[in-house]
Structure 1
Amino acid sequence: MKPATLRAWSKVHTWSSLICTLFMLILALTGLPLVFHDEIDGIGKPERIERWNDAELVSLDRAIAAALALEPGAVPIYLSFDEDRPVVNLTSGPVGDAPETAMRFHPIDRRTAAPPQGEAPGGGVMDVVLDLHKDLLLGTVGEYFVGAIGLCFVLALVSGVVLYAPFARKAGFASVRKAKTARTRWLDWHNLIGGVTLAWALVVGLTGTINTLAEPITAWWRADALAHLARDHSGPIASYRPGIADAALRNAQAAVPGMRVQFIAFPGAAFSSRDHLAVYLQGATPLTAKLLTPVMVDARTGKVDGVAPMPWYMKALLLAQPLHFGDYGGMAMKLLWAVLDLVSIVVLGSGLYLWLRKPRTARRGRAA
């Protein structure tokens, strides 16, 4: 590689690293507890296996009515289902297309048509950690900023590989020059650890960036794949009427047999249209459970208007979300993700140390 090219890549690596290092440290530190969010949320809660008889459960619409009674004047936006107990979770708001900040969350036990006993409304400390990790508590602007930081991080990784490749070819991969100065040894360890964790860091950086684009990706999909099923794009949002949720689920599962429901999006929601209930069905395997099949059901008649398979970019988003936190392979994968997260903190810290310990003459030459 020519010296001029090497210097250009060195500048790219230095400045992309400096721009993202502080924020990546925040993301790495907040990401560590999020890997174990299920376990942390379960601290202090008795672990028990719940059993129930499906025939004794109240209907979905009765559960929805119980949740709406807690917030008079609200309308349903999403209905999700717990996997290990007969509890549905209604997300409601003043209107069907309400922003996330105006939404409220109400779990309802279908055995009693009431909120589950012993649960307090509202989120805990992990919700704050998630918001800090997702958007630095800055909302949508912060989410896009985190996405830009993710791209900067990927650029730093790629430029680091370009710079390390000539050294690896000459001295061998993972070589540490023990006879050199402390800064040189730190540089070799920085390159070694960065090279070992490169694949994981790229996966986490890219999936994190994809996750920050969930809103525009969903809007694109809604305008593309769902547009032909909507009858009136500018008309009023169809009103919820009792009985429609049970009918929608029953007809959707009849249209796509052998699948189970993950959630239902009501008219106006980002994952539906203005005149449909979108019933999202999932498979039974760990992989197919992440890839959803939406069935669009007429909000007025309950009849299936069509099945809208997810396009590739929505599949990428749905797969990126759990992969980012290692939610695929149980505790073993979570532990691996945690170790790699800690190692990435060492890489980020060592990179900052190397820049701060750069000889003053080199800095003056670079400034000139």
Structure 2
Amino acid sequence: MKIETAKRWFLWHKWTSLICTIFLLMLCITGLPLIFHHELEHVLEEEKVAEIPEGAQKKSLDELAAAAEALYPGERVRYVYWDEDEPNKTLFDVAPRPEAPYDSSKYVVLNDYTAAVLDRPTTDGVMNFILRLHRDMFLGIGGMLFLGLMGIVFVIAIITGVVLYGRIMKKFDFGMVRKYKSRRLHWLDTHNLIGIVTLAWATVVGITGIINALHDVVLFAWQQGQLKEMVAPYASKPPLEGQYASLDSALLVAEKAAPDMKASIITYPGTMFTSKHHYGIFMKGKTELTARLLMPVLVDAENGTLTDARKMPWYVITLFVSQPLHFGDYGGWPLKIIWALFDLATIVVLITGLYLWVARRKAAKMQWSRLNEKIEEYDEA
């Protein structure tokens, strides 16, 4: 590699690293507890078990939804959720209107057998604060897109770092750390070694982070694409008013349309994941991988008949796969521990990178100061 070319690669690596380092440090520090967010939530929040009275029968979804709405007079359910880790429970999102902003939502968890209130989750917890900071720095879509841009800059820094390390390793043994040289060289070699060891992980997390930052863009593309096609026959019809068809019957229709899947979320008419005329019932697979992939089934909320059911387009599937991979949420504890170790190693890379930049600037200032002193001595002589 020519010297001029090497300098250009070095400048690209230096400035891309400096631009994104502070934000990456924030993402790595907040990402560490998010790797274990399921486990930490169980520790930080009191979990109530859904007790099943002897001989009790499961309540219908319609009964549970009515019980949730009764807790907040004048408001209606707009989303229904299930969590496999919390059996015999159903979570309802109740709001003044379907299109109301998320901060107006009230959440309530009901026992499937007794309709008793088990919990009223809020978004004020520690884990939600960390997630918001990690996801968009409390700046909404602007913050998400900015962090996505920092992800792109990070990937460029990785590529330029690999090119530079390859040039260095032509002269030295792979993994070399010059312990007995200057402190700066010691930390430079440590920085390079840890950086190359974490290369694959950092690339995966960086790319999946960029994809996740496009969450709202992907949602908009799906709304304007597949969803719009699915509800096209209803485009000229007025929004539904009054009572909707039974939730239970709509769920049966969805299960019949996707017999090898199970319901994960039900969205009410008027919400962003469906039309003003349909229940959007999102079905998921039953394996570790397919459980991450949702399939929308649209059921006419007026008469309870099937309107359409389609597999999600590739760009939505890419997002669904990227979200859990970003946090190592695929292989249970072993993968989470590996993700956490690499996260800590990346924090070391970022801190040593900052140290090297500061040390280099100090060294340059000292050299310049010494040069000025020699010039002054020469002038005095």
Q: What's the TM-score once normalised by structure 1's chain length? A: 0.91
Structure-2 residue corresponding to 1:108: 110
> SS of the counterpart of 2:360?
coil
Structure-2 residue corresponding to 1:70: 71
Deviations 1:186-231 (A, max 9, x none): 1111111011111111111111221121111011012111111213
Determine if contact 1:221/1:314 at 8 Å carries over to the other structure: yes
Determine if contact 1:81/1:88 at 8 Å carries over to the other structure: yes
Structure-2 residue corresponding to 1:293: 295
1:7 aligns with 2:7: yes
In the TM superposition, what is the alpha-carbon distance from 1:155 to its structure 2 partner? Answer: 1.5
Distance 1:184 1:76, change over 3 A: same
Structure-2 residue corresponding to 1:355: 357
1:327 aligns with 2:329: yes
Distance 1:240 1:263, change over 3 A: farther
Structure-1 residue corresponding to 2:370: none
2:228 maps to a residue whose letter is A
Structure-1 residue corresponding to 2:144: 143
In the TM superposition, what is the alpha-carbon distance from 1:336 to its structure 2 partner? Answer: 1.0
Deviations 1:68-101 (A, max 9, x none): 2222232332211122321111123222222223
Deviations 1:44-78 (A, max 9, x none): 64697966899711111111111122222323322
Structure-2 residue corresponding to 1:305: 307
Structure-1 residue corresponding to 2:378: none
Deviations 1:289-346 (A, max 9, x none): 1111111111211111111211111011111111111111111111111111111110
Determine if contact 2:245/2:302 at 8 Å carries over to the other structure: no
Structure-1 residue corresponding to 2:347: 345
Distance 1:91 1:234, change over 3 A: farther
1:263 aligns with 2:265: yes
1:28 aligns with 2:3: no
> SS of the counterpart of 1:281?
strand
Determine if contact 1:237/1:275 at 8 Å carries over to the other structure: yes
Determine if contact 1:9/1:163 at 8 Å carries over to the other structure: yes
Q: How does 1:218-257 map to 2 (within 5 A)?
A: 218-230=219-231, 231-233=233-235, 237-239=239-241, 241-257=243-259
CA distance in 1, matches of 2:9, 2:53: 61
CA distance in 1, matches of 2:329, 2:55: 28
> SS of the counterpart of 1:30?
helix
Q: How does 1:75-224 map to 2 (within 5 A)?
A: 75-83=76-84, 84-116=86-118, 119-123=119-123, 124-224=125-225
Determine if contact 1:92/1:104 at 8 Å carries over to the other structure: yes
CA distance in 2, matches of 1:152, 1:200: 16
CA distance in 2, matches of 1:53, 1:249: 26
CA distance in 2, matches of 1:293, 1:159: 40
Distance 1:214 1:238, change over 3 A: farther
CA distance in 2, matches of 1:237, 1:256: 27
Determine if contact 1:326/1:333 at 8 Å carries over to the other structure: yes
In the TM superposition, what is the alpha-carbon distance from 1:6 to its structure 2 partner? Answer: 1.9
Distance 1:331 1:53, change over 3 A: farther
Q: Which moved more, 1:167-176 or 1:356-365?
A: 356-365
> SS of the counterpart of 2:184?
helix
Q: What's the TM-score once normalised by structure 2's chain length? A: 0.88
> SS of the counterpart of 2:43?
coil
Distance 1:145 1:172, change over 3 A: same
Determine if contact 1:325/1:337 at 8 Å carries over to the other structure: yes
Determine if contact 1:50/1:85 at 8 Å carries over to the other structure: no
> SS of the counterpart of 2:348?
helix
2:58 maps to a residue whose letter is L
Determine if contact 1:294/1:308 at 8 Å carries over to the other structure: yes
1:256 maps to a residue whose letter is A
> SS of the counterpart of 2:97?
coil
- What's the % identity of the aligned pairs? 42
Distance 1:262 1:46, change over 3 A: closer
Determine if contact 1:96/1:237 at 8 Å carries over to the other structure: no
In the TM superposition, what is the alpha-carbon distance from 1:39 to its structure 2 partner? Answer: 1.3
CA RMSD of aligned residues (A): 2.5
Distance 1:213 1:361, change over 3 A: same
Distance 1:259 1:55, change over 3 A: farther
Structure-2 residue corresponding to 1:283: 285
Gaps of 5+ in 1: none
